[in-house]
Amino acid sequence: MKRIATTLLVAGLMATPMLALPPAAHAGVDIGIGVSIGIPPPALPVYAQPVIPGPGYIWTPGYWAWDPGYGGYYWVPGTWVMPPQIGLLWTPGWWGWSDGFYRWHGGYWGSRVGFYGGVNYGYGYFGSGYVGGYWRGRDFYYNRAVNNVNVTNIRNVYVNRTVINNVNVNRVSYNGGRGGISAQPSAQQRAWANQRRIQPTSMQTQQRDTAMRNPAQRFKANQGRPAVFATQRAGSFSGPHAVRTPSPSNNRMIAAPQRARPTTAAPNRGMVQAPRNRAQTPRPADQSFRQERTAQSQERGYVQAPRERPQQMRQPSQSFRQERAAPPRNESRQPAARGGERGKGQPDNKKHDNGPGH
């Protein structure tokens, strides 16, 4: 009995320190594992979207992730990826303020797009839901108003520019806290939170790991302008379609719709105004140009308006006819001799006519 009691006492003393120790702090780096940080994530950069590589791909926006190895944020470029199953949509991850920390809520695949903090990631992810396309059977249809789609390779397209109206435009990348977005999930989004979730694909994980290993993607090094903003394919940071640090003049397509509304260039089909507005804008310039040309033509004596041409050309034609008609009058006045010659010729003709009568 004494041996048994001694054994139990020693075992209890050995277990007591283990129970008293707190669990080791762990900052998970997986997309689906929450990370709590005391520093807010940087503002979202403005970048162009690469053209879609082919049908069936779905756009997954870029985001700021945390690297516990060096203790800072780094940019994971947005990219086109194939969903794990037909009919699934991507819900982006988001940072949210909770209990004094900024916590990462990982993205996931599901039949519905859930709540992602109200963050405006652009290109269809404007803070609530996804307006960049939809599934119809086994085919995905793309909204060309917010996606960079080559219609030569992809025919399942449509245009709906009303989705960029009434969008709360900002570059804030987190929800809650000081300066954060105050959006809250709706009842429907709360219900969708209970749907079956599928973790990011291996290509998405490769995209994140490649960005984490690249020092140029770290915020401390780039100050919000990473070396690569977006890629056409996951993991391909050096490909020809990778969007690197562009100059402002080369930003044909941008994440924030308010930056693209005043743009009227044709390549900005992701964020441009409706065609009616573009057709109306050149009219005042054409009218002023015509008025200026008309004023110049009046000073130089030229005629510009098509309707005025026949009316003004009639006057020169009348004077031209008068000038053409004038020479016969001068000829009749000039030579009386011609008249004499004609008069002399008449008796000859009469004599010639009268000759056969004899």
Q: Which of 259, 287, 304 is the last residue in one of the domains?
A: 304
Q: Which residues contact 123 (CB under 8 A, 6 or more apart)?
A: 49, 59, 61, 78, 132, 146, 147, 255, 270
Q: Which domain holds residue 278?
A: 274-304
Please report the pLDDT score of residue 245 as a whole number: 67
Residues 165 and 178 in one domain: yes
Residue 240 within a domain: yes
Residues 159 and 87 in one domain: yes
Record the pTM. Answer: 0.63
Residues 149 and 249 in one domain: yes
Please report the pLDDT score of residue 34 as a whole number: 61
Residues 264 and 299 in one domain: no
Please report the pLDDT score of residue 313 as a whole number: 44
Please report the pLDDT score of residue 308 as a whole number: 45
Residue 325 within a domain: no
Please report the pLDDT score of residue 240 as a whole number: 86
Instruction: Show the tokens assigned to 16.
Output: 């007591």
Residue 216 within a domain: yes
Residue 6 within a domain: no
Residues 96 and 179 in one domain: yes
Residues 198 and 255 in one domain: yes
Residues 103 and 221 in one domain: yes
Block mean pLDDT (10 aa), the chain, length 358: 45 40 35 72 94 97 95 97 98 95 96 96 95 97 96 94 78 95 94 91 97 96 94 92 66 38 36 38 45 46 43 46 46 43 42 41
Alpha-carbon dihedral sign for residues 224, 118, 200, 85: negative
Residue 327 within a domain: no
Residues 117 and 167 in one domain: yes
∠ Cα 355 356 358 (to 5°): 75
The Cα–Cα gap between 145 and 270 comes to 5
Number of domains in the chain: 2
Residues 61 and 186 in one domain: yes
Please report the pLDDT score of residue 168 as a whole number: 67
Is the Cβ–Cβ distance between 102 and 116 less than 8 Å?
Answer: no
Please report the pLDDT score of residue 166 as a whole number: 65
The Cα–Cα gap between 315 and 310 comes to 9
∠ Cα 184 91 86 (to 5°): 145
